[in-house]
Amino acid sequence: MSFEICELLGIKYPIFQGAMAWIADADLAGAVSEAGGLGIIAGGNAPKDVVKAEIDKIRTLTDKPFAVNIMLLSPFAADIIDLVIEEKVPIITTGAGNPSPYMERFKEAGIKVVPVVPSVALAKRMEKIGADAVIAEGMEAGGHIGKLTSMPLVPQVVDAVNIPVIGAGGVGDGRGMAAMFMLGAKGVQVGTRFLVAKETNIHENYKQKVLKARDIDAVATCQIFGHPVRALKNKLTAEFDKAEKEEMRKEVPDTERFDKLGQGALKAAVDGDIAYGSVMAGQIAGMINKEETVEEIILDLMADTKRVVNERAQIWA
Ligand code: TUI
Protein backbone atom coordinates (compact mmCIF):
# COMPACT_ATOMS: atom_id res chain seq x y z
CA MET A 1 0.00 0.00 0.00
CA SER A 2 1.28 3.46 -0.80
CA PHE A 3 -0.26 6.58 0.64
CA GLU A 4 0.30 10.05 -0.79
CA ILE A 5 0.33 11.65 2.69
CA CYS A 6 2.94 9.16 3.88
CA GLU A 7 5.25 10.06 1.00
CA LEU A 8 4.71 13.78 1.65
CA LEU A 9 5.54 13.55 5.36
CA GLY A 10 7.91 10.56 5.48
CA ILE A 11 5.62 8.42 7.67
CA LYS A 12 4.54 4.77 7.26
CA TYR A 13 0.81 4.85 8.05
CA PRO A 14 -1.74 7.59 7.19
CA ILE A 15 -2.70 8.11 10.82
CA PHE A 16 -2.19 11.37 12.73
CA GLN A 17 -2.54 11.34 16.50
CA GLY A 18 -4.79 14.17 17.69
CA ALA A 19 -2.96 17.07 19.33
CA MET A 20 -4.74 16.90 22.67
CA ALA A 21 -3.66 19.82 24.87
CA TRP A 22 -1.92 18.80 28.16
CA ILE A 23 -2.18 15.17 26.97
CA ALA A 24 -0.23 14.76 23.72
CA ASP A 25 3.29 14.95 25.16
CA ALA A 26 6.60 13.52 23.89
CA ASP A 27 5.82 10.08 25.36
CA LEU A 28 2.57 9.72 23.41
CA ALA A 29 3.72 11.46 20.23
CA GLY A 30 7.07 9.63 20.29
CA ALA A 31 5.31 6.27 20.56
CA VAL A 32 2.98 7.15 17.67
CA SER A 33 5.85 8.25 15.41
CA GLU A 34 7.89 5.17 16.37
CA ALA A 35 4.88 2.98 15.45
CA GLY A 36 4.70 4.60 12.00
CA GLY A 37 1.97 7.22 12.46
CA LEU A 38 2.41 10.98 12.84
CA GLY A 39 2.96 11.79 16.50
CA ILE A 40 1.98 15.34 17.37
CA ILE A 41 3.10 17.25 20.46
CA ALA A 42 0.31 19.57 21.57
CA GLY A 43 1.45 23.13 22.23
CA GLY A 44 -1.94 23.75 23.87
CA ASN A 45 -1.74 26.59 26.38
CA ALA A 46 1.76 25.62 27.51
CA PRO A 47 4.64 28.15 27.59
CA LYS A 48 7.69 27.89 25.32
CA ASP A 49 10.08 26.18 27.78
CA VAL A 50 7.56 23.38 28.47
CA VAL A 51 7.04 22.69 24.76
CA LYS A 52 10.80 22.90 24.12
CA ALA A 53 11.39 20.20 26.75
CA GLU A 54 8.89 17.94 24.94
CA ILE A 55 10.62 18.55 21.59
CA ASP A 56 13.99 17.74 23.17
CA LYS A 57 12.50 14.59 24.67
CA ILE A 58 10.81 13.29 21.51
CA ARG A 59 14.16 13.55 19.72
CA THR A 60 15.57 11.06 22.23
CA LEU A 61 12.59 8.71 21.69
CA THR A 62 12.39 8.58 17.90
CA ASP A 63 14.25 9.70 14.81
CA LYS A 64 11.06 9.48 12.74
CA PRO A 65 9.09 12.59 11.69
CA PHE A 66 6.88 14.23 14.32
CA ALA A 67 4.81 17.41 14.45
CA VAL A 68 4.00 20.17 16.92
CA ASN A 69 0.47 21.59 17.06
CA ILE A 70 0.12 25.32 17.59
CA MET A 71 -3.13 26.14 19.34
CA LEU A 72 -3.73 29.64 18.05
CA LEU A 73 -5.92 30.77 20.98
CA SER A 74 -2.99 30.17 23.34
CA PRO A 75 -1.46 33.26 24.98
CA PHE A 76 1.90 31.68 24.09
CA ALA A 77 1.11 31.01 20.40
CA ALA A 78 3.68 33.58 19.15
CA ASP A 79 6.40 32.01 21.34
CA ILE A 80 5.56 28.50 20.12
CA ILE A 81 5.76 29.76 16.52
CA ASP A 82 9.29 31.10 17.23
CA LEU A 83 10.16 27.81 18.91
CA VAL A 84 9.15 25.50 16.04
CA ILE A 85 11.18 27.67 13.66
CA GLU A 86 14.24 27.76 15.96
CA GLU A 87 14.01 24.00 16.53
CA LYS A 88 13.45 23.22 12.84
CA VAL A 89 10.45 21.05 13.71
CA PRO A 90 9.69 19.16 10.45
CA ILE A 91 5.89 19.45 10.48
CA ILE A 92 3.39 21.66 12.27
CA THR A 93 -0.36 21.52 12.53
CA THR A 94 -2.44 24.47 13.71
CA GLY A 95 -5.80 24.60 15.42
CA ALA A 96 -8.42 26.94 16.86
CA GLY A 97 -7.69 29.76 14.43
CA ASN A 98 -6.36 31.02 11.14
CA PRO A 99 -2.56 30.69 10.76
CA SER A 100 -2.34 32.98 7.68
CA PRO A 101 -0.18 35.68 9.34
CA TYR A 102 2.58 33.13 10.09
CA MET A 103 2.55 31.02 6.95
CA GLU A 104 5.39 32.87 5.22
CA ARG A 105 7.71 32.30 8.19
CA PHE A 106 6.87 28.58 8.34
CA LYS A 107 7.48 28.15 4.63
CA GLU A 108 10.77 30.08 4.77
CA ALA A 109 11.90 27.74 7.55
CA GLY A 110 11.07 24.71 5.36
CA ILE A 111 8.37 23.48 7.75
CA LYS A 112 5.47 21.45 6.37
CA VAL A 113 2.22 23.09 7.47
CA VAL A 114 -1.06 21.23 7.98
CA PRO A 115 -3.80 23.48 9.43
CA VAL A 116 -7.02 22.18 10.98
CA VAL A 117 -9.96 23.66 9.09
CA PRO A 118 -13.64 23.61 10.12
CA SER A 119 -14.90 24.95 6.77
CA VAL A 120 -14.38 25.01 2.99
CA ALA A 121 -13.55 28.74 3.06
CA LEU A 122 -10.60 28.29 5.43
CA ALA A 123 -9.41 25.19 3.52
CA LYS A 124 -9.29 27.17 0.26
CA ARG A 125 -7.46 30.04 1.94
CA MET A 126 -4.91 27.63 3.42
CA GLU A 127 -4.24 26.03 0.04
CA LYS A 128 -3.81 29.46 -1.57
CA ILE A 129 -1.15 30.55 0.91
CA GLY A 130 0.86 27.33 0.70
CA ALA A 131 -0.43 24.76 3.20
CA ASP A 132 0.90 21.27 2.40
CA ALA A 133 -2.33 19.53 3.46
CA VAL A 134 -5.34 20.32 5.66
CA ILE A 135 -7.09 18.44 8.43
CA ALA A 136 -10.87 18.72 8.01
CA GLU A 137 -12.19 18.21 11.53
CA GLY A 138 -15.87 17.52 12.09
CA MET A 139 -17.61 18.46 15.30
CA GLU A 140 -17.83 14.82 16.42
CA ALA A 141 -14.29 15.48 17.67
CA GLY A 142 -13.39 16.19 21.26
CA GLY A 143 -12.14 19.56 22.47
CA HIS A 144 -12.68 22.80 20.62
CA ILE A 145 -15.00 22.18 17.67
CA GLY A 146 -16.42 23.84 14.56
CA LYS A 147 -20.03 23.69 13.35
CA LEU A 148 -20.07 20.92 10.72
CA THR A 149 -19.98 17.17 11.19
CA SER A 150 -17.38 15.11 9.33
CA MET A 151 -19.71 13.48 6.81
CA PRO A 152 -20.62 16.76 5.04
CA LEU A 153 -17.37 18.63 5.84
CA VAL A 154 -14.77 16.20 4.50
CA PRO A 155 -16.13 15.68 0.94
CA GLN A 156 -16.82 19.41 0.52
CA VAL A 157 -13.25 20.24 1.52
CA VAL A 158 -11.95 17.43 -0.72
CA ASP A 159 -13.86 18.93 -3.67
CA ALA A 160 -12.60 22.45 -2.91
CA VAL A 161 -8.83 21.91 -2.72
CA ASN A 162 -6.10 20.01 -4.55
CA ILE A 163 -3.88 19.37 -1.52
CA PRO A 164 -4.36 16.20 0.58
CA VAL A 165 -7.18 16.28 3.12
CA ILE A 166 -6.91 14.43 6.42
CA GLY A 167 -10.28 13.52 7.93
CA ALA A 168 -10.80 14.03 11.67
CA GLY A 169 -13.74 13.82 14.05
CA GLY A 170 -15.54 10.56 14.69
CA VAL A 171 -12.79 8.11 13.73
CA GLY A 172 -12.35 5.35 16.30
CA ASP A 173 -11.85 2.16 14.31
CA GLY A 174 -11.41 0.73 10.82
CA ARG A 175 -14.99 1.50 9.88
CA GLY A 176 -14.50 5.19 10.58
CA MET A 177 -11.11 5.25 8.89
CA ALA A 178 -12.47 3.45 5.81
CA ALA A 179 -15.39 5.91 5.71
CA MET A 180 -12.97 8.87 5.72
CA PHE A 181 -11.13 7.36 2.76
CA MET A 182 -14.47 6.86 0.97
CA LEU A 183 -15.18 10.57 1.51
CA GLY A 184 -11.91 11.37 -0.25
CA ALA A 185 -9.58 11.83 2.72
CA LYS A 186 -5.95 10.76 2.26
CA GLY A 187 -5.47 10.03 5.94
CA VAL A 188 -7.14 10.32 9.32
CA GLN A 189 -6.52 12.02 12.62
CA VAL A 190 -7.54 10.09 15.73
CA GLY A 191 -7.64 11.62 19.19
CA THR A 192 -10.05 9.92 21.58
CA ARG A 193 -8.80 6.37 21.00
CA PHE A 194 -5.29 7.48 22.01
CA LEU A 195 -6.63 8.94 25.29
CA VAL A 196 -6.58 5.46 26.80
CA ALA A 197 -3.31 4.31 25.22
CA LYS A 198 -0.87 2.79 27.69
CA GLU A 199 1.66 5.50 26.81
CA THR A 200 -0.79 8.35 27.57
CA ASN A 201 0.18 10.20 30.75
CA ILE A 202 -3.21 11.24 32.10
CA HIS A 203 -4.84 10.46 35.44
CA GLU A 204 -6.50 7.04 35.65
CA ASN A 205 -9.83 8.78 36.46
CA TYR A 206 -9.81 10.39 32.99
CA LYS A 207 -9.06 7.06 31.27
CA GLN A 208 -11.79 5.27 33.25
CA LYS A 209 -14.34 7.97 32.35
CA VAL A 210 -13.54 7.48 28.65
CA LEU A 211 -13.68 3.69 28.98
CA LYS A 212 -17.09 3.90 30.71
CA ALA A 213 -18.58 6.56 28.41
CA ARG A 214 -21.76 5.82 26.49
CA ASP A 215 -22.62 7.01 22.98
CA ILE A 216 -24.52 10.07 24.26
CA ASP A 217 -22.01 11.21 26.90
CA ALA A 218 -19.69 13.41 24.82
CA VAL A 219 -21.62 16.68 24.76
CA ALA A 220 -20.92 20.03 23.13
CA THR A 221 -20.92 23.07 25.42
CA CYS A 222 -20.73 26.79 24.62
CA GLN A 223 -22.37 26.50 21.25
CA ILE A 224 -23.94 29.95 21.73
CA PHE A 225 -21.33 31.88 23.77
CA GLY A 226 -17.59 31.39 24.18
CA HIS A 227 -15.66 28.65 22.42
CA PRO A 228 -17.58 25.46 21.62
CA VAL A 229 -15.99 22.43 23.30
CA ARG A 230 -16.94 18.74 23.34
CA ALA A 231 -16.33 16.92 26.62
CA LEU A 232 -17.82 14.08 28.62
CA LYS A 233 -20.92 15.04 30.59
CA ASN A 234 -20.21 15.98 34.22
CA LYS A 235 -20.77 18.78 36.78
CA LEU A 236 -18.77 21.21 34.64
CA THR A 237 -20.77 20.60 31.45
CA ALA A 238 -23.97 21.07 33.51
CA GLU A 239 -22.56 24.39 34.84
CA PHE A 240 -21.84 25.50 31.28
CA ASP A 241 -25.38 24.66 30.16
CA LYS A 242 -26.86 26.51 33.14
CA ALA A 243 -24.66 29.56 32.53
CA GLU A 244 -25.63 29.61 28.86
CA LYS A 245 -29.35 29.53 29.69
CA GLU A 246 -28.86 32.40 32.18
CA GLU A 247 -26.85 34.57 29.80
CA MET A 248 -29.29 33.95 26.95
CA ARG A 249 -32.02 35.67 28.95
CA LYS A 250 -29.90 38.81 29.49
CA GLU A 251 -29.95 41.80 27.18
CA VAL A 252 -26.15 42.11 27.47
CA PRO A 253 -24.77 38.60 28.02
CA ASP A 254 -21.55 38.22 29.97
CA THR A 255 -19.57 36.18 27.44
CA GLU A 256 -16.32 36.35 29.40
CA ARG A 257 -17.96 34.16 32.02
CA PHE A 258 -17.55 31.13 29.77
CA ASP A 259 -13.82 31.48 29.22
CA LYS A 260 -13.37 31.92 33.00
CA LEU A 261 -15.37 28.76 33.69
CA GLY A 262 -13.24 26.82 31.21
CA GLN A 263 -9.85 28.16 32.32
CA GLY A 264 -7.63 25.44 33.68
CA ALA A 265 -10.47 22.92 33.42
CA LEU A 266 -8.74 20.58 30.97
CA LYS A 267 -5.57 20.50 33.08
CA ALA A 268 -7.74 19.76 36.14
CA ALA A 269 -9.28 16.72 34.40
CA VAL A 270 -5.88 15.50 33.21
CA ASP A 271 -4.80 15.69 36.87
CA GLY A 272 -7.81 13.63 37.99
CA ASP A 273 -10.72 16.01 38.69
CA ILE A 274 -13.32 14.43 36.43
CA ALA A 275 -16.27 16.15 38.14
CA TYR A 276 -15.32 19.81 37.64
CA GLY A 277 -12.55 19.32 35.08
CA SER A 278 -13.14 19.34 31.33
CA VAL A 279 -12.91 15.69 30.26
CA MET A 280 -12.55 16.43 26.56
CA ALA A 281 -13.37 13.47 24.31
CA GLY A 282 -15.04 12.84 20.98
CA GLN A 283 -18.37 11.18 20.20
CA ILE A 284 -16.67 7.84 19.57
CA ALA A 285 -15.79 7.62 23.30
CA GLY A 286 -18.68 5.12 23.66
CA MET A 287 -16.82 2.59 21.55
CA ILE A 288 -13.49 2.85 23.35
CA ASN A 289 -13.56 -0.07 25.75
CA LYS A 290 -9.99 -1.16 26.26
CA GLU A 291 -6.58 0.20 27.06
CA GLU A 292 -3.99 -0.73 24.41
CA THR A 293 -0.50 0.30 23.42
CA VAL A 294 -0.09 2.93 20.72
CA GLU A 295 1.35 0.28 18.40
CA GLU A 296 -1.67 -2.01 18.94
CA ILE A 297 -4.02 0.89 18.16
CA ILE A 298 -2.23 1.83 14.94
CA LEU A 299 -1.85 -1.74 13.67
CA ASP A 300 -5.48 -2.51 14.52
CA LEU A 301 -6.70 0.63 12.71
CA MET A 302 -4.74 -0.37 9.60
CA ALA A 303 -5.80 -4.05 9.64
CA ASP A 304 -9.44 -3.23 10.45
CA THR A 305 -9.61 -0.61 7.67
CA LYS A 306 -8.23 -3.08 5.15
CA ARG A 307 -10.70 -5.73 6.28
CA VAL A 308 -13.68 -3.37 6.11
CA VAL A 309 -12.73 -1.98 2.69
CA ASN A 310 -12.24 -5.45 1.18
CA GLU A 311 -15.40 -6.85 2.76
CA ARG A 312 -17.59 -3.97 1.52
CA ALA A 313 -15.93 -3.98 -1.92
CA GLN A 314 -16.98 -7.61 -2.38
CA ILE A 315 -20.63 -6.77 -1.70
CA TRP A 316 -20.54 -4.07 -4.37
CA ALA A 317 -18.50 -5.97 -6.97
O1 TUI B 1 -8.21 23.08 18.34
C2 TUI B 1 -8.82 22.02 18.36
N3 TUI B 1 -9.18 21.41 19.50
C4 TUI B 1 -8.89 21.88 20.76
S5 TUI B 1 -8.02 23.26 21.15
C6 TUI B 1 -8.27 23.00 22.76
S7 TUI B 1 -7.69 24.06 23.99
C8 TUI B 1 -9.09 25.03 24.19
N9 TUI B 1 -9.80 24.82 25.28
C10 TUI B 1 -10.91 25.55 25.50
C11 TUI B 1 -11.34 26.50 24.60
C12 TUI B 1 -10.65 26.66 23.45
C13 TUI B 1 -9.49 25.92 23.23
C14 TUI B 1 -9.00 21.87 22.95
N15 TUI B 1 -9.32 21.26 21.82
N16 TUI B 1 -9.19 21.42 17.21
C17 TUI B 1 -8.93 22.02 15.96
C18 TUI B 1 -9.96 22.99 15.60
N19 TUI B 1 -9.70 24.10 14.98
N20 TUI B 1 -11.28 22.91 15.85
C21 TUI B 1 -11.85 24.01 15.34
C22 TUI B 1 -10.83 24.76 14.79
C23 TUI B 1 -10.87 26.01 14.10
C24 TUI B 1 -11.84 26.95 14.38
C25 TUI B 1 -11.83 28.18 13.70
C26 TUI B 1 -9.88 26.29 13.16
C27 TUI B 1 -9.86 27.48 12.51
C28 TUI B 1 -10.83 28.41 12.78
O29 TUI B 1 -10.72 29.56 12.07
C30 TUI B 1 -11.46 30.68 12.44
C31 TUI B 1 -11.03 31.80 11.58
O32 TUI B 1 -10.56 32.77 12.13
O33 TUI B 1 -11.12 31.64 10.34
For the stretch 4-20, pLDDT in tens is 999 999 999 999 999 99
Give me the phi and psi of 177, to 5 degrees please.
-70, -45
pLDDT in tens, 151-174: 999 999 999 999 999 999 999 999
* Distances in whole angstroms, Cα of residue 290 to Cα of each of 26, 271, 277, 279: 22, 21, 22, 18
CA 137 – CA 145 distance, rounded (Å): 8
Instruction: Indicate the top mutation candidate among 116, 259, 261, 263 to test ligand 1's pocket, ranked by most ligand atoms within 8 A of CB.
Output: 116
* Distances in whole angstroms, Cα of residue 52 to Cα of each of 25, 155, 182: 11, 36, 38
Per-residue pLDDT, 226: 86
SS (H, E, C) 204-230: HHHHHHHHHCCCCCEEEECCCCCCCEE
Per-residue pLDDT, 283: 98
Per-residue pLDDT, 182: 97
Per-residue pLDDT, 256: 87
pLDDT in tens, 109-127: 999 999 999 999 999 999 9
* Atom of ligand 1 lying closest to residue 121 CA: 33
Q: Report if pTM > 0.85.
A: yes
CA 52 – CA 59 distance, rounded (Å): 11
pLDDT in tens, 63-100: 999 999 999 999 999 999 999 999 999 999 999 999 99
* Atom of ligand 1 lying closest to residue 262 CA: 10
Domain edges within the chain: 12-202+285-316, 214-280
Q: Is 164 in the pocket of ligand 1 (CB under 6 A)?
A: no
Per-residue pLDDT, 90: 98
**Ligand 1 geometric centre to CA of 259 (Å):** 14
The third-level CATH classification (topology) of the domain covering 12-202+285-316 is TIM Barrel (3.20.20)
**pLDDT, averaged across the chain:** 97
Per-residue pLDDT, 315: 92
**Ligand 1 geometric centre to CA of 254 (Å):** 21
Q: Whose CA is nearest to atom 3 of ligand 1?
A: 144
pLDDT tier at 317 (50, 70, 90 boundaries)? confident
**Ligand 1 geometric centre to CA of 314 (Å):** 39
pLDDT tier at 274 (50, 70, 90 boundaries)? very high
CA 29 – CA 66 distance, rounded (Å): 7
Q: Whose CA is nearest to atom 28 of ligand 1?
A: 97
